[in-house]
Amino acid sequence: MSFGQGMVIPAIPVFASEFDISVGLAAQVVTAYAIGRVASLVPAGIMIDRMGSRFAMVLGPLMVAAGVGAIVVTPVFWVILAAQFVVGMGDSLWMLAREVTGINLVKPSQRGRVMSGFMGVTSAGMSLGPVVGGLILEEVGLRTVFVAYAGIASAVLLGSVMSRHSEARAPRPLQVKSSPFQFGRLSEIERALRPTYIALVAATFAMMLYRMVLQSMMPLYMDSQLGYSPVQVGSIFGISTIFIFAMIIPAGFITDKIGRKWATVPSTIIPALAFFAIPFADSMLELSIIASVLGMANGLSLGSVATSTFDVVPEHARARFQALRRVVGEMGGVAGPFFGGIIANAYNPGMTFLIFAPFILVPGLLLAIVAKETLVKNPPSEK
């Protein structure tokens, strides 16, 4: 599914020419998708906890296929934006249901590898999708990209319909006499684990903050302050991506075999230290070293925070509390570029890294000091 959405990225300039609109307006296809993802998180969490993950595993790709199908046939750009919103909702619903299903199928000591694998495949899809999408655009055309995307969504839908969902480890869907819109309370989490959940939520906010600030401010810093070319800027992000992929397998084993905090703490604190260092780095070598370290930290975070959250939250509310954590994370993703732009205008792009670094460091320290280690090694049920 991420591969399909990745194919949309190189289509943005083509939308501008195809519909005779500005490039800025064409870029809103990504914004509409992102808003749809965020808007569906809370309803998705409630739906999965109340109805089970199987229904969501089918509904999600069905929504994606329907939305992409509408893009294939419509001649109106505003319909495309609405369709991308629906696609974002369906994708978010399917991804959350996929994770809950995966967690239900494995032992707690295997959760890290499952989540790291899920996140790694998603990252790979988003990285490779633009390559294939660009080739299709060049050889065939815009609509064919979305025909291919619809085919991917249909294949996922077929797989979800035909798959056998194991209920051996899955908790029963929530059955309570309460408002269908009740999202959940912190009191549902075991008292001793509540500070851990709060620290994980704060860490998610920090991670989304630093990723979006890095993506939006690093190009400006390298271009306007250091005078590097777009190719050199792209190479820095390419180096980081290589290390992210290299950490997919190690991250899962560290999370499952050594400890959850051995993954979550470094993946939050290291970016904070890197942010302190970026404004003082001016050579490609120094920036490449920082990019490598950030890539390893980013790769180490793949699935580790989600895994720790599954350890902490009650079984009957897994999806809701994961969704809540991600909503807060998305707020960090929005706040980062917004306030980063204000800081860059008032001072310079490099200053944004210094100002944001403490906001990333504090959640990392909370994970290190306040959060509990949630990995139980060799539990009796698994011996």
Note the pLDDT tens digit of each residue in 347-381: 999 999 999 999 999 999 999 999 999 988 765 55
Average pLDDT over residues 37-63: 90
Q: Which amino acid is at 52?
A: G
Q: Which CATH architecture has domain 186-373?
A: Up-down Bundle (1.20)
Q: How many Cβ atoms from other residues are within 10 Å of residue 54's Cβ? A: 19
Q: Which amino acid is at 76?
A: V
More confident residue, 44 or 170: 44
Q: Which amino acid is at 148?
A: A
- CA-CA distance, 277 to 353, in Å (whole number)? 8
Which pLDDT score, from 0 to 100, does residue 238 have?
83
- Whole-number Å distance between alpha carbons of 266 and 264: 6
Alpha-helical (H) ranges within the chain are 2-8, 12-18, 23-26, 28-51, 53-73, 77-105, 111-139, 142-162, 194-220, 230-246, 248-253, 261-277, 284-300, 304-312, 318-346, 349-369
Q: State the chain's mean pLDDT as an integer.
A: 87
What is the reported pLDDT for 184? 62
Residue-level pLDDT at 215: 82
pLDDT at 280: 96
Instruction: Tell how far CA 354 is from the center of its chain.
Output: 24
**Maximum distance among all Cα pairs of the chain, rounded to whole angstroms:** 65
- Residues found in the chain: 383
All CATH 1.20.1250.20 domain ranges in the chain, comma separated:
2-162, 186-373
Q: Are 200 and 309 in contact (CB under 8 A)?
A: yes
> What 3-state class would DSSP assign to 3?
helix
Does 269 score more than 80 pLDDT?
Answer: yes
**For residues 125-145, average pLDDT:** 83
| Span of 161-175, 300-314, 330-344 with lowest mean pLDDT | 161-175
Give the DSSP per-residue string, 211-241.
HHHHHHHHHHIIIIIT---HHHHHHHHHHHH
Which architecture does CATH list for 2-162? Answer: Up-down Bundle (1.20)
3-state secondary structure at position 331: helix
Report residue 320 CA to chain centroid gap: 16
Q: How crowded is residue 144: how many other Cβ atoms within 10 Å of its Cβ?
A: 15
Residue-level pLDDT at 235: 86
Higher model confidence: residue 383 or residue 62?
62
Structure-block tokens of residue 45: 């969490």
Do 269 and 199 touch, CB atoms closer than 8 A? no
Give the integer Cα–Cα distance in Å for 169 and 164.
14
User: What single string gives the DSSP state of each residue in 114-167?
Assistant: HHHHHHHHHHHHHHHHHHHHHHHHHHT-HHHHHHHHHHHHHHHHHHHHHS----
The model's pLDDT over 273-302, given as tens digits with 9 standing for 90+, comes to: 999 999 999 999 999 999 999 999 988 988
Find out whether 321 and 49 touch, Cβ atoms under 8 Å: no
